[in-house]
Amino acid sequence: MKVFRKLFLLTLSTAIGLTSCAQQSEKPFYKEIQAFKAADKQNKPPKDAIVFVGSSSFAMWTDVQKYFPEYKIINRGFGGSGLKDAIEYEDDIIAPYHPKQVVIYSGENDIAANVTAKDVLRRFTTLFNMIRRDLPGANIVYISIKPSPSRRKFMPVMVSANAMIKKFLAAHKNTTFVDVYSKMLDASGNPRGELFRQDSLHMKRAGYEIWKEQLMPVLMK
């Protein structure tokens, strides 16, 4: 009877473990995060670096290190992600690196999913507080939500969210709000289409050059 009980408990424990692993692997962006971890095992990340975390605008900036050759950059952007995903994986892709600076581009996909500006601020505040908890001395930079032509209808929400986050950061030390939104508009206040790829969402090199220009003065060596 005791043997049967032990076998039963072992089988149950194994089943629970397998279920837990399956649930983990079904989480959004789980594979992308595991790929980051695998890359870290192959090439040890630099210490005292700057972590870029956010959506496809960072994920597709594959040569970001070339834009900032004098800085140590760890790019942890994963395409399609929003602030809630950055929150979910903060202890996987931000905190473990102990960076001196965290640069965030996230919130655009949240808005595209019909989230309000107040919700974007709430999510950003949650992420901010998590970073402050784990990395109290790290400088935090937020890049404003960009005016993607394909998401023109969301521009009023983008403007509101950017303003709210800028105001929030102004009340906290060791932070910077970087405005790229206004730099990517033409004289009439419309998104500059020439900065974007054919999908009118992701940027060409010209767009990243604007980001470089705005980011360079605030990055920490």
Contact (CB, 8 A) for 65 and 41: no
**Per-residue pLDDT tens digits for 40-77:** 999 999 999 999 999 999 999 999 999 999 999 999 99
> Which CATH number fits the domain 45-218, given the four candidates 3.40.50.10780, 3.40.50.11540, 3.30.830.10, 3.40.50.1110?
3.40.50.1110
Domain coordinates in residue numbering, the chain: 45-218
Both tokens of residue 58?
Answer: 């960072």
- What DSSP character marks residue 200? S
Contact (CB, 8 A) for 119 and 154: no
What is the CB neighbour count within 10 angstroms for residue 31? Answer: 10
Please choose, from the candidates 58, 76, 45, the residue with its C-alpha nearest in 3D space to the C-alpha of residue 208: 58
Contact (CB, 8 A) for 142 and 118: no
Q: What pTM was estimated for this model as a whole?
A: 0.88
- The confidence band for 2, taking pLDDT boundaries of 50, 70 and 90, is low
pLDDT at 26: 80
Statement: residue 104 has pLDDT above 70 = yes
Average pLDDT, the chain: 92
**Per-residue pLDDT tens digits for 182-213:** 999 999 999 999 999 999 999 999 999 999 99
